[in-house]
Amino acid sequence: MHPSRTETSPVTAPGLKGTLLAYVGLTKPRIIELLLVTTFPAMFLAAHGFPPLGLAAVTFVGGTLSAASANVFNSVLDADIDEQMRRTRRRPMVREQVSARAAYIFAVVLGIGSVLMLGFGANWLSAALSVTAILYYVIIYTVWLKRRTPLNIVWGGVAGCFPPLIGWTAVTGSVAWPPLILFLIVFFWTPPHTWALGLRYREDYAGADVPMLPVVREATYVTRQMLAYSVLTVLTSMALWPVASTGWLYPVVAGVSGIVLIMEAIALMRRADAGLSEAKLAPMRLFHWSNSYLAIVFIAAAVDALIF
């Protein structure tokens, strides 16, 4: 039996500062940071150097509003799940700091702001991609896939792959192979990253009836899938080298960091094969490194565009 809201997080009048923090919390800022890390390197690659400052600012604001809109919708729709999971029980919707109606209005306003910002400030292709990402995350992933299939994060994770496309099209007004490669890097990276979290909080997901792969399959199977996707991530990252005609910096950094990612995946698989307890399995090692890996690879692409 799960503790009630009053047992885990008493509802109190938050005041102005608390209300503002609650609305910010609905947007999940840490997720937005990661998405923006994949947006700007695509702009540097597209511009073969520094993109125009005004365009970069518009894309930053528009991209932030887009991701925030999707996250707020998700916060409302997943409030029942968040209430049952230890790591999410203190989120604003669970603590009833914001009403569902107010949150939905907030999400719609953020989404409209994103479209207008990108449409008028960059181009309407970027704006259309922003809308597509929001709708995909909310309808395809949150409403449809998340509660129905162990492959939820594989196909649902597509929504998180749009930022590189938005960054590239903001500069060029068209889609090309380099941003599609960046799209695929994020696509293959998402399952091992998320399944590591799923292994760590397996009981939470099971208690909330979310059929994450670590919930429905044993750790030995899950870690093999994580290794496979990690290898695909690294191979795809190396494909950017000839496709985008980068200099030597990018392949060196992507190669070295990719080796570390694969080694971490292999180490996790071996711990699972050894039948170690959940506490000793340490999946968060891979989770944290995967965050670093994605940032390192994309930043290396941006720096390479500046140097070469």
pLDDT digits (tens, 9 = 90+) for 140-172: 999 999 999 999 999 999 999 999 999 999 999
182 and 95 in a single domain? The answer is: no
108 and 89 in a single domain? The answer is: yes
Please report which confidence band the pLDDT of residue 211 belongs to, taking 50, 70 and 90 as the band edges: very high
Q: Determine the straight-line distance between the first and last CA of the chain, rounded to whole angstroms.
A: 59
Q: What is the pTM of this model?
A: 0.93
Domain boundary among 157, 175, 193: 175
229 and 159 in a single domain? The answer is: no
Please report which confidence band the pLDDT of residue 13 belongs to, taking 50, 70 and 90 as the band edges: low
Average of per-residue pLDDT across 247-267? 98
Average of per-residue pLDDT across 58-87? 96
Closest CA to 70 of 184, 152, 162: 162
Report the run of H or E that residue 263 belongs to, with start and end. helix 249-273
Q: Return the CATH number at 56.
A: 1.10.357.140
Give a yes or no: residue 229 inside a domain.
Answer: yes
Q: What is the DSSP letter of 85?
A: S
Residue 74 CB partners (closer than 8 Å, separation 6+): 28, 137, 138, 142
Please report which confidence band the pLDDT of residue 10 belongs to, taking 50, 70 and 90 as the band edges: very low
83 and 73 in a single domain? The answer is: yes
Structural domain span for residue 122 = 18-175
Closest CA to 45 of 296, 241, 258: 241
182 and 301 in a single domain? The answer is: yes
- For the chain, the domain total comes to 2
65 and 201 in a single domain? The answer is: no
The chain-wide mean pLDDT, for the chain, equals 94
Lowest-confidence range among 30-34, 61-65, 94-98, 263-267? 30-34
Residue that has been written with the tokens 């009048």 in this structure = 13
